[in-house]
């Protein structure tokens, strides 16, 4: 059986990994072996088609699914989830000849209606407040990019990480977390509302892309990770079919960790752009102050405040990611994890996490953002109005279900009126909800 510490820190401890390193990853002086994993590139591109060391060019050949799965077997850590080991889909589908199951899932998510709607759903600042603020879609894309980068450094499955990143916010209603809070309140007596469970409903029931069955027919591991990636948060519910007694895959845990790192940094950026966050007040936070001082030291005299902020944000984000990768590597090694079976049985301290010192500094930053950004009077004013829009629409459709579109009326008998209305509202974009409210309330 392969040993975690050998895989991470030395080929001499891990014969199979050592043989691979000797062939494809010649040791560079002073570079930790784990970091060298990035030299081989992503698993979709891999080492095929590269130029030989002596300048001899090799002709690239297209990689089929079996080749991609073989690369995963060679390049991924023993505790990473391999596409070839997936538990499959609810509805039979022939294997794609050129894509692994997770690559196929990624493409299905990107082409879904729910994914496109994220472009017009609020992250923190409503898109009516400006064109350059993050939306749910741009946030999702940033999480996917950063999580793939971290997954590569940890030798986890990048394609699965990307799938989880792309789908993790699919269930958010319009108007950000304030919209979710209101729907949870309105649905309290009718099964509740939680955006991860709503994302699961979307990919299993609400999206209709195939005549034979509802949903996107995603792989088990992607759907499992939707409900487990933040399962340690209070009030989370895991359906029995996803085995609540089994821990989440490391790929899911990584997305959850990177998600908060991402929004901490881009919420600072958007808050500064909106004029809601004052730079002098932000300097009171140790984590930001350190990033700013480093950015200033690395920049030419006279560099604009805007460029210094951009550099400080990059420094802060890199510090988050490096800390997550380094701490997680140490935790995995200390736990003597051998494979994904060990991962699913692990219910001790988190394996994918930050160091205590970084987590404490990050918590201080998030508390500051909550007080000075998320609950700023200008943000509150917009979202109080937005909640009124959702509340009015919910009441209207409950009182007048015949005003729902036909495809939603057809679901009332199976799902119940309140769940049907909740699904309809959760699928709205900010703009559609506002327009619908304006039209219906004017009648």
Question: Which is it for the CA torsion 124, 126, 129, 133, positive or negative?
Answer: positive
Give the rounded percent of residues in the chain with a pLDDT score beyond 90: 76
Is residue 407's pLDDT more than 90?
yes
Question: Which is it for the CA torsion 17, 18, 23, 25, positive or negative?
Answer: positive
Half-sphere exposure at residue 28, Cβ-oriented, CA atoms within 13 angstroms: 10
Is residue 34's pLDDT more than 90?
no
Q: Give the pLDDT confidence score for residue 443 in this predicted structure.
A: 66
Q: Give the pLDDT confidence score for residue 379 in this predicted structure.
A: 84
> Are 353 and 359 spatial neighbours (Cβ–Cβ below 8 Å)?
yes
Q: 60 or 36: whose pLDDT is higher?
A: 60
pLDDT mean over 94-105: 96
Tokens 């064109």 correspond to 131
> Are 210 and 180 spatial neighbours (Cβ–Cβ below 8 Å)?
no
Model confidence at 377, pLDDT cuts 50, 70, 90, reads confident
The string of pLDDT tens digits covering residues 145-173 is: 999 999 999 999 999 999 999 999 999 99
Q: How far is CA 191 from CA 103, 128, 194, 197, 236, in A?
A: 33, 32, 10, 11, 13
Question: Whole-angstrom Cα distance, residue 57 to residue 401?
Answer: 66
> Are 136 and 122 spatial neighbours (Cβ–Cβ below 8 Å)?
yes
Question: Whole-angstrom Cα distance, residue 370 to residue 376?
Answer: 8
Model confidence at 442, pLDDT cuts 50, 70, 90, reads confident
The string of pLDDT tens digits covering residues 177-236 is: 899 999 999 999 999 999 999 999 999 999 999 999 999 999 999 999 999 987 665 556
Is residue 338's pLDDT more than 80?
yes
List, in order of start, the domains of the chain with CATH numbers: 4-85 (no CATH), 101-378 (1.10.3210.10)
Long-range contact list for 403-411, CB < 8 A, 24+ apart?
403/440
């Amino acid at each position: 059986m392969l040993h975690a510490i050998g895989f991470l820190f030395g080929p001499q401890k891990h014969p199979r990994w050592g043989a691979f390193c000797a062939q494809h990853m010649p040791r560079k002086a002073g570079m930790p072996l784990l970091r060298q994993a990035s030299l081989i590139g992503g698993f979709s591109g891999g080492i095929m088609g590269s130029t030989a060391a002596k300048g001899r060019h090799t002709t690239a050949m297209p990689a089929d699914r079996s080749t991609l799965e073989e690369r995963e077997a060679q390049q991924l850590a023993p505790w990473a989830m391999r596409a070839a080991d997936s538990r499959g889909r609810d509805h039979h589908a022939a294997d794609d000849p050129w894509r692994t199951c997770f690559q196929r899932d990624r493409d299905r998510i990107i082409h879904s209606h729910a994914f496109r709607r994220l472009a017009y759903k609020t992250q923190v600042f409503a898109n009516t407040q400006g064109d350059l603020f993050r939306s749910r879609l741009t946030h999702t894309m940033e999480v996917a990019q950063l999580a793939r980068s971290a997954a590569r450094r940890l030798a986890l499955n990048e394609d699965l990480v990307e799938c989880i990143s792309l789908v993790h916010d699919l269930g958010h209603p319009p108007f950000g977390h304030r919209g979710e809070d209101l729907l949870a309140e309105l649905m309290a007596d009718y099964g509740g509302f939680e955006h991860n469970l709503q994302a699961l409903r979307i990919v299993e029931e609400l999206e209709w892309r195939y005549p034979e069955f509802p949903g996107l027919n995603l792989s088990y591991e992607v759907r499992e990770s939707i409900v487990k990636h933040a399962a340690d948060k209070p009030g989370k519910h895991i359906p029995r079919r996803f085995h609540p007694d089994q821990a989440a895959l490391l790929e899911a845990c990584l997305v959850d960790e990177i998600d908060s790192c991402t929004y901490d940094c881009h919420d600072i950026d958007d808050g500064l752009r909106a004029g809601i966050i004052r730079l002098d007040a932000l300097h009171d936070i140790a984590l930001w102050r350190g990033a700013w001082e480093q950015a200033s030291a690395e920049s030419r005299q006279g560099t604009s405040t805007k460029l210094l902020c951009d550099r400080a944000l990059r420094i802060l984000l890199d510090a988050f990611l490096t800390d997550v990768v380094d701490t997680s590597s140490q935790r995995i090694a200390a736990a003597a994890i051998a494979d994904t079976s060990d991962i699913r049985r692990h219910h001790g301290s988190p394996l994918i996490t930050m160091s205590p010192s970084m987590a404490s500094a990050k918590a201080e930053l998030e508390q500051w953002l909550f007080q000075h950004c998320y609950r700023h009077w200008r943000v509150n004013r917009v979202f109080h109005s937005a909640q009124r829009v959702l509340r009015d629409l919910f009441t209207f459709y409950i009182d007048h279900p015949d005003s729902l579109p036909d495809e939603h009326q057809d679901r009332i008998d199976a799902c119940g009126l309140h769940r049907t209305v909740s699904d309809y509202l959760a699928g709205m974009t900010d703009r559609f909800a506002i327009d619908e409210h304006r039209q219906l309330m004017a009648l």
